[in-house]
Chains A and B, each alone.
Chain A
Amino acid sequence: MKRTLKGMLAVAACAAAASLATSGTALAQAGEQFFPVLVYRTGAYAPNGVPWANGYVDYLKLVNARDGGINGVKITFEECETGYATDRGVECYERLKGKGPTGGTTFQPLSTGITFALTDKSFADHIPLITAGYGRADSVDGSVFGWNFPIGGTYWDAADILVQHVGKKLGGVDKLKGKKIALVYHDSPYGKEPIALLQERAKMHGFELILLPVTHPGVEQKATWLQIRQQRPDYVFLWGWGVMNSTAIKEAVATGYPRDKMYGVWWSGAEPDVVPAGDGAKGYNALVFLAPAGKGAVHADIVKYVYDKGQGTGKKEDIGEVLYNRGMVSAMFGVEGVRKAQEKFGKKPLTGEQVRWGLEHLTITPDMIKKLGMTGFMEPVKTSCENHEGAHAAMIETWDGKKWNVVPNSRYESDMKILGPMIQASAKKYAEEKKLTTRDCSKEDGA
């Protein structure tokens, strides 16, 4: 009781100080940090887009309601509907990038296609692009991709970890020799992204990689699963999004392919993916960069400060879903990036360029995770100018018919000995194609 009272006093004091500060300084400095929010609440991918967007917006609302903004700088935000279409995503980006006193803080498009298009623009507009757990795998290299932040993991990490996991299940990666792994993927940059890494691993361990593309939106997979029935792969990796995931699981049931041999990527492991398949989804596995569904201290805060005041974005029951948590953590990366940048540039609205500095010096320790109320929902992160990823560990989870459970002892880190050279080579090729001058990270000023 005493603690809450103290906490409330502290918040009140903060708010008072903030209001004093804003009223004290000129009105021109509105004291607002603008967060553009690209969402898709309609279209084929809405079932997955909505919970993510709700989590993202709820976290921004929480920071305003609980802390009075980021160190007193209020967060403003505006949603724009992309429908998962690249052209509309770019239009939204152009619409929102100049709003607020300092322009857009950071964009998080939740679409690999839009990420590719915005990456192009980021070099001119100097707005960081956070793609937590998706986007371009080679954008880890901050010396080329100065504005991309695939914080927490990429598809190459994911593919690498899945191979490690099935290797371990067989009793060592060398046992993969002669096995067959099928990749059922969304035929878009998103789904194609892991292929390069899997081919590399296939060469190393001598397993056969079967590539089975599925066209957007992925409701027609009969031919794909016929091939699986003919070729009988030992494992199926699923790289789907939206309705494609549940369709794949239903087809697996129909073909009689064992679900426990199926591994989904991060984006194929949420409730909307398995619930439509009913009992058939039992035993299906997926990769998680963060913990699966669940609630922690931060969720209690969201209920207390946002939902109990009638400000909630979605339904109260949906808080804590897998995709909700992902949206929330993604928003947190943006907010913490701003907070870090404020240490250097002062507690005022910051430009994208300043926020990038914050994102490049982001250090989220286990202590900080606890303070954020996200214990168990994320890995510690440490980014730098060369490494925009900060963490590359993940776990495997299994669906038991009701909820996602983390497989014990399934925490893996991707093998940087394999990924590192691939990232460098790919980033270098991109720089050549685009005629970019790379940054010299050793010359940038340190923390």
Chain B
Amino acid sequence: MFFRENGQFKSTYRADMQLLPIVQDRYFMLAIVALAFVAVPYLASDYLFLSIINPFLILTFAAIGLNLLVGYCGQISIGHAAFMAWGAYAAYNLVQRVPMLNFLVVLVLAGLVAALVGMFFGIPSLRIKGLYLAVATLAAQFFTDWIFARVKWFTNYAHSGSVSTAPVNLFGWTIDSPSEKYVFLLGVLIVFTVIARNLVRGHLGRAWMATRDMDVAAEVIGIRPVYAKLTAFGVSSFYCGIAGALWGFFHLGSWEPLAFDLNLSFSLLFMIIIGGMGSILGSYLGAAFIVALPIALNQIPEKMGVPLSTAMATNVEFMIFGSLIVLFLVLEPHGLARLWAIGKEKLRLWPFPH
């Protein structure tokens, strides 16, 4: 009833091709963005920012990156935490060694470094597919762990291999309070979300999706697999590199190679599987699920006044979290984003389904 495009006529190609063709959708999205920028900084507590919202924003960023590769181009990678590590260490070294660079420039350069490394490790994808490729990307993970733990230059000869960063300064604005970090992260994320949305519906995204759906057919219609696959690896790693730099500078503050271990790679993969492969929205939903749910589950027994020992509460958290993952995958194998799409479809017909 409310969610219907009746009477919304498009008279130009431009209007027909916009990101959110339905007016209600557009207003809804604008309202959310406005709320996120204006209201949330005043409403949320520091704890909420530092433990849930900010990590959620950064991991969403990384999940979008991984989704471009796995969801859109169909190349499985279980080494994406490695590309985050490259971004983080590249940013750290740039800030340490070239202090006059603006942080935004550092971010882009860190992304480019990660993109180069990602493309290098994407080369095997030209020959191998599916699970075999996944195993090959594992090499990126272990190689990265090794290089940052062993080559002292990358960590500026820190004696325990742990690096730390100063608060970021941007045009005289020192971003150190939780809400300032939030505003900055949100801004960066929105810009790159829009870019990603446009990428996947442009010629590059179409090439990726064609490769995903059937690579032989894609080749026949003139899409070069080398180009499609390597750009997917490059762009995906670029996103993850920036996410890694943000993770290091805005969330961790100081980190060791262990912060970007295989667990993080798996978490990213779970995010896009649960959120929805091949969906930007799914990256958001999946990241929220993986970041916030365990923390919430851990605190529920105490908030409800159930006296549970610390160890028990943690074990219960693992059990419920695990079963929820299974439950969601059984109910909707295409992820939370698909649930959202179904809801929207229903809403369109409501209250007169035919």
Q: Which of A's residues lie within 8 Å of B, judged by CB? A: 39, 41-42, 46, 50, 79-81, 83, 86-87, 90-91, 94-95, 98, 112-113, 116-117, 119-121, 124, 136-137, 187-190, 192-193, 195-196, 213, 216, 426, 430, 433-435
Given contacts A41-B314, A42-B311, A94-B47, contact A196 B295 (CB under 8 A): no
Q: Which residues of A contact B295 (CB under 8 A)?
A: 91
Q: Which of B's residues lie within 8 Å of A, judged by CB? A: 46-47, 50-51, 55, 96, 149, 156, 159-166, 176, 252-256, 258-259, 295, 298-299, 309-311, 313-315
Pick the 3 closest A-B CB pairs, nearest first: A41-B311, A120-B253, A196-B159
Residue of B nearest to A86 (CB): B259
Q: Which residues of A contact B166 (CB under 8 A)?
A: 433-435
B232 to chain A minimum Cβ distance, whole angstroms, is: 28
Within the assembled complex, what's the spacing in Å between the Cα atoms of A426 and B157? 10
Given contacts A79-B310, A433-B164, contact A42 B315 (CB under 8 A): yes
Residue of B nearest to A91 (CB): B51
Residue of B nearest to A80 (CB): B310
Given contacts A94-B51, A188-B256, contact A116 B314 (CB under 8 A): no
Given contacts A121-B253, A192-B160, contact A113 B47 (CB under 8 A): no
Residue contact A116 to B310, C-beta cutoff 8 Å: no
A106 to chain B minimum Cβ distance, whole angstroms, is: 19
| A to B contact number (C-beta, < 8 Å) | 91
Within the assembled complex, what's the spacing in Å between the Cα atoms of A34 and B173? 35
Within the assembled complex, what's the spacing in Å between the Cα atoms of A203 and B46? 48
Given contacts A213-B149, A433-B166, contact A117 B252 (CB under 8 A): yes
> Which of B164, B252, B258, B310 has its CB near the most chain A CB atoms (within 10 A)?
B310
CB<8 Å pairs between A and B, sample of 13: A41-B309, A86-B252, A94-B47, A95-B47, A98-B47, A113-B256, A116-B160, A116-B164, A117-B255, A192-B160, A433-B163, A433-B165, A435-B166
Contact for B254 among A42, A79, A116, CB less than 8 A: A116
Within the assembled complex, what's the spacing in Å between the Cα atoms of A187 and B161? 10
Q: Which residues of B contact A196 (CB under 8 A)?
A: 159
Given contacts A83-B314, A120-B254, A189-B256, contact A95 B160 (CB under 8 A): no
Within the assembled complex, what's the spacing in Å between the Cα atoms of A79 and B299? 11
> Which of B160, B163, B252, B255 has its CB near the most chain A CB atoms (within 10 A)?
B160
Q: Which residues of A contact B160 (CB under 8 A)?
A: 112, 116, 136, 189-190, 192-193, 195
Residue contact B176 to A81, C-beta cutoff 8 Å: no
Within the assembled complex, what's the spacing in Å between the Cα atoms of A121 and B25? 40
Q: Which residues of A contact B161 (CB under 8 A)?
A: 189, 192
Inter-chain pairs besides A95-B47, A192-B159, 15 sampled, C-beta below 8 Å:
A39-B310, A42-B311, A42-B315, A79-B310, A87-B252, A116-B254, A117-B252, A120-B164, A120-B254, A124-B176, A137-B159, A187-B149, A189-B161, A213-B149, A433-B163
Within the assembled complex, what's the spacing in Å between the Cα atoms of A42 and B255? 23
Q: Which residues of B contact A430 (CB under 8 A)?
A: 164
Q: Which residues of A contact B47 (CB under 8 A)?
A: 94-95, 98
Within the assembled complex, what's the spacing in Å between the Cα atoms of A83 and B313? 12
Q: Which residues of B contact A433 (CB under 8 A)?
A: 96, 156, 163-166
Residue of A nearest to B315 (CB): A42
B35 to chain A minimum Cβ distance, whole angstroms, is: 23
Q: Which residues of A contact B159 (CB under 8 A)?
A: 137, 192-193, 195-196, 426
Residue contact A81 to B51, C-beta cutoff 8 Å: no
Within the assembled complex, what's the spacing in Å between the Cα atoms of A112 and B50? 21
Within the assembled complex, what's the spacing in Å between the Cα atoms of A112 and B161? 12
Residue contact B314 to A81, C-beta cutoff 8 Å: yes
Q: Which residues of B contact A42 (CB under 8 A)?
A: 311, 314-315
Given contacts A189-B161, A433-B164, contact A94 B46 (CB under 8 A): yes
Within the assembled complex, what's the spacing in Å between the Cα atoms of A98 and B160? 30
Given contacts A116-B164, A124-B176, A433-B166, contact A90 B298 (CB under 8 A): no
A2 to chain B minimum Cβ distance, whole angstroms, is: 41
Residue of B nearest to A216 (CB): B258
> Which of A39, A189, A216 has its CB near the most chain B CB atoms (within 10 A)?
A189
Within the assembled complex, what's the spacing in Å between the Cα atoms of A225 and B309? 39
Within the assembled complex, what's the spacing in Å between the Cα atoms of A216 and B254? 19
A423 to chain B minimum Cβ distance, whole angstroms, is: 11
Contact for B50 among A94, A119, A189, CB less than 8 A: A94
A194 to chain B minimum Cβ distance, whole angstroms, is: 9
Within the assembled complex, what's the spacing in Å between the Cα atoms of A439 and B252? 24
A92 to chain B minimum Cβ distance, whole angstroms, is: 9
Residue of B nearest to A188 (CB): B258
Within the assembled complex, what's the spacing in Å between the Cα atoms of A86 and B247? 13
Q: Which residues of B contact A87 (CB under 8 A)?
A: 55, 252, 259
